[in-house]
Each structure stands twice: as structure tokens, then as C-alpha cells.
């Protein structure tokens, strides 16, 4: 990440140069989006969802992949890819005939960080219940969605609470704005389902992309801070909402379209926590970055 707008130590405290003009920042972000297209998707849990052509399978694979999308991306792809492989040829069809005892045997030995077979089976059972009641995850979200809400938060809260069904075991996998969480993984799932352009699927066309909130992970939180788009120290719902509002100045109809490209910088280790000259000198954002130099 570059030093066109950097921090300098002048007489003691750390001082920032004047922020760049927003039009220049928008141009640089647009260039970044054009550079990190679907050809750069590996590793990303979305690649698991793109294996499927049927939207019912895409919904199920998407929710499973997003819910477990914490930790290193390559490990997420490996672990959740293995889960989906055991549900072939159709994750939706498998859950339509879900039986808990059979699933416990089928997914024995599953482990992803601190989530093990019991948590996975409980999670799949709730998705199966939603499919039984509504026919699909998309139909459930449609029932939860209100176009009059200011953003996707209230709809997501209703969706998550329906899925959780008061099961505290699922509170981590199914995060809710009501908890104050940034809901990175649930917002990621919604980005995949709602946004109309690649790499996202755009299969939930009843949802307005302008309502989406940026999936705020550590990479996006850090890099948007470098770009002067974030001032909050905690990566919570308020920070995600604030960053989305800033990005909406560049694209009011689709503010979350910048998320994939910004996150790629972090996942591919092209923008590090510590400044690396060899990275910063070739970064597309080098002249709009506020990476501190001490």
C-alpha cells in the first residue's frame, strides 16, 4: 500500500497529510475492482458455491460456506469443500431428506477451528427445517425482507433468528446485527446472493443491492482505514455500516461492489499489517493510501 497520502512525524505526534480528493479515490477503487475480477478468486469460499448451477444448491452451499468462512481462506475452502462433497450431487436435495442420526455418521470427524461435528449437524438441521417450512433459503429470506428498511440489517436479523430458533449453539455461525456484530459472514452470504455482477451470483433479485452492508473482516477494516474510509477501531456493525455509507458516495446503487477487490489485497497478502516497500510501490492505491510511516 502506497504513500501518496501518508503519516509523518513532525515535532512529536503522528500527523496526517491532507486527505486525497474523493474523486481520485473513487477512480483508484474502480481500477482495483477491474483488476481483481473472478479470475483472481482462488482461494475464496465463493469458489465452492460456483461449483453449482442450480440456485437451490447455490443458496445452501453459500450459507454453509459463508457461515464457516473464518480463518485462512485456503483452509476454509478445503474443510467446507469436504463437507459439500459429502452432500453430492445436490446439497439442497440432501437436506430435503435430512436425518440427524445419519448426518452424525456422515460428518463424523469434521473439524474447522473450534466447530466440530455436533455444531455442523445442528447447523445443517436448521437449514433442513427452513427448507421443509419454506421450500428454500431464498423463500425464507423473501419472507424476512422488507424493502422499506433502511438497510439489510433488519431483514438479516429476522432471517438469522428464524434459522437459529433460539439455539445458542448456532449464535457464532449465524451472527445477527442485533448482537452488535459486524456479521461479516452473513453479509458475505448476502453479497453472493444479491449482487448482480461477477463474481457474485445475483440470484435473489428481489433484494436491492443498495441495501447491502459491507462484509467487514480484518482485511477490509484495516485497508479501509488506510484509505481514510474508516475511523472506528472496532470492526462491529456500526463500522460496517459507516464504511458502506462512505462507499455509497462512489456507487450509491451498489456500494458493496468494492468489497471483493479490497479483500483480495488482504487475502493474497498484497497489503500487509506492516509496510513493505516492494508491495506499496506497485499498489494501485499507492497515491490514495494513508498507511502510517513512523
The secondary structure of 261-280, three-state, reads HHHHHHHCCCCCCCCCHHHH
Measure the CA–CA gap between 69 and 291, rounded to whole angstroms.
27
In the chain, DSSP finds a helix count (H) and a strand count (E) of 14, 4
Spell out the domain ranges in the chain.
7-35+214-280, 46-211
CB neighbour burial string for 257-290, b if at least 16 within 10 angstroms, e if fewer: bbbbbbbbbbbeebbeeebeeebbeebbbbebbb
Which CA distances in Å does 230 have to 9, 59, 218, 224?
21, 31, 12, 6
Per-residue confidence in pLDDT tens, the chain, 294 aa: 333 333 333 333 334 445 568 899 999 999 999 999 999 999 999 999 999 999 999 999 999 999 999 999 999 999 999 999 999 999 999 999 999 999 999 999 999 999 999 999 999 999 999 999 999 999 999 999 999 999 999 999 999 999 999 888 899 999 999 999 999 999 999 999 999 999 999 999 999 999 999 999 999 999 999 999 999 999 999 999 999 999 999 999 999 999 999 999 999 999 987 778 888 889 999 999 987 543
- What pTM did the predictor assign? 0.91
Amino acid at each position: 500500500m502506497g504513500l501518496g497520502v501518508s503519516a509523518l512525524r513532525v515535532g512529536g505526534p503522528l500527523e496526517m497529510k491532507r486527505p486525497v480528493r474523493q474523486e481520485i479515490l473513487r477512480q483508484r477503487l474502480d481500477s482495483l475492482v477491474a483488476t481483481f475480477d473472478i479470475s483472481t478468486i482462488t482461494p475464496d469460499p465463493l469458489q465452492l458455491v460456483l461449483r453449482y448451477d442450480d440456485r437451490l444448491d447455490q443458496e445452501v452451499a453459500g450459507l454453509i460456506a459463508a457461515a464457516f468462512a473464518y480463518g485462512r481462506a485456503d483452509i476454509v475452502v478445503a474443510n467446507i469443500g469436504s463437507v459439500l462433497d459429502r452432500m453430492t450431487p445436490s446439497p439442497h436435495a440432501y437436506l430435503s431428506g435430512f436425518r440427524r442420526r445419519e448426518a452424525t455418521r456422515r460428518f463424523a470427524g469434521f473439524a474447522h477451528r473450534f466447530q466440530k461435528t455436533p455444531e455442523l449437524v445442528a447447523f445443517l438441521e436448521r437449514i433442513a427445517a427452513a427448507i421443509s417450512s419454506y421450500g428454500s433459503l431464498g423463500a425464507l429470506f423473501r419472507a424476512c425482507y422488507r424493502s422499506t428498511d433502511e438497510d439489510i440489517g433488519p431483514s438479516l436479523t429476522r432471517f438469522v433468528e428464524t434459522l437459529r430458533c433460539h439455539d445458542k449453539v448456532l449464535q457464532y455461525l449465524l451472527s445477527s446485527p442485533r448482537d452488535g456484530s459486524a456479521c461479516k459472514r452473513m453479509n458475505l452470504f448476502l453479497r453472493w446472493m444479491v449482487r448482480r455482477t461477477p463474481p457474485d451470483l445475483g440470484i435473489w433479485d428481489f433484494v436491492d443491492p443498495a441495501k447491502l452492508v459491507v462484509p467487514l473482516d480484518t482485511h477490509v477494516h484495516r485497508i479501509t482505514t488506510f484509505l481514510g474510509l474508516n475511523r472506528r477501531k472496532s470492526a462491529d456493525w456500526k463500522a460496517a455500516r459507516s464504511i458502506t455509507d462512505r462507499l455509497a458516495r462512489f456507487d450509491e446503487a451498489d456500494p458493496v461492489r468494492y468489497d471483493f477487490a479490497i479483500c483480495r489485497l488482504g487475502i493474497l497478502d498484497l497489503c500487509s499489517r506492516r509496510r513493505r516497500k516492494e508491495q506499496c510501490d506497485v499498489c494501485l492505491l499507492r497515491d490514495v493510501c494513508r498507511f502510517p510511516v513512523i
